[in-house]
Amino acid sequence: MARQRIVVLSGAGVSAESGLGTFRDSGGLWEQHRIEDVATPEAWATDPEHVLRFYDMRREQTLKAVPNAAHRAIAALEQAFEVDVVTQNIDDLHERAGSSRVMHLHGEILKARSTKDPDLIVPLNGPSLRWGDRCPLGSQLRPHIVWFGEAVPLIPEAAALVAGADRLVVVGTSLQVYPAAGLVHYLPQERSLWVIDPHPVPLQGPHVHTIRSKASEGMPRLASAWLQEVSA
Ligand code: APR
């Protein structure tokens, strides 16, 4: 029998227990920075070195962090399911936990991108990206991050994954940031949707199951129930 398809839509809450702070739980500030000053094209145009320092700091945090039980449980689902992780997170903790298909909607902190050709993406070998670091075409490199006010190019591909899912798990995201938040609406109506979050998330319906817990507790519970279900 064909393996069922699971899509996991993850957000900052999944990495919170690895020590990477969520943004909206900290009063709308990221490590004391306003979004407008560090995560917008305008910030980059006004003070690129400040923006680079902010992402250097987040890159250092990412490099020190390790995957937690939620990342590992998501990876374990691959034992019996076709799993696609669609994450809003820019860290690489899903990959390090062993997930093989991870789509980063909002970019990746461990990569840089040419300011001349957005398709020219290079891995970053160290924690810092500096003003003056150039792409092979000779233009400044920027963090490979989708900033507020920029298009999210992977949305159509992500929507197609959700539309083809047998089950959708929404974990650790407040669903406040569009267009990512709108992805849940691509799930066919009769398919089940599980929400794992310690706080209320605005999703309702006959096929919505809510697990009010931390990702590191709720995700392993759900994954082991599903793995048992298919091995029974
Ligand atoms: N386990 C599960 N969920 C948690 C945990 C935890 N341990 N701790 C916090 N959460 C939940 C919060 O209750 C909240 O619903 O994680 C969610 C985090 O929400 P946001 O901070 O809004 O993060 P996210 O939804 O990923 O944000 C989307 O906005 O910050 C920008 O571009 C950034 O990709 C990010 C996007």
- Per-residue pLDDT tens digits for 9-40: 999 999 999 999 776 666 666 667 888 999 99
Look up the CATH architecture of domain 1-20+67-106+151-232.
3-Layer(aba) Sandwich (3.40)
**What mean pLDDT, rounded, does the chain reach?**
94
Which CATH code fits 21-64+107-145? 3.30.1600.10
Structure tokens at 218: 């709720």
- Residue spans of the chain under pLDDT 70: 23-31
Give the mutation target among 14, 177, 201 for probing the ligand 1 site: most ligand atoms within 8 A of CB: 177
Domain boundaries, the chain: 1-20+67-106+151-232, 21-64+107-145
pTM here is: 0.96
Distance 216 CA to ligand 1 centre (A): 14
Residue 29, pLDDT score: 65
Protein residue whose Cα sits closest to atom 13 of ligand 1: 199
How many residues in total does the chain contain? 232
Query: Nearest C-alpha to atom 15 of ligand 1 is from which residue?
Result: 174
DSSP symbols for 58-104: HHHHHHH----HHHHHHHHGGGTSEEEEEE---SSHHHHHT-S-EEE
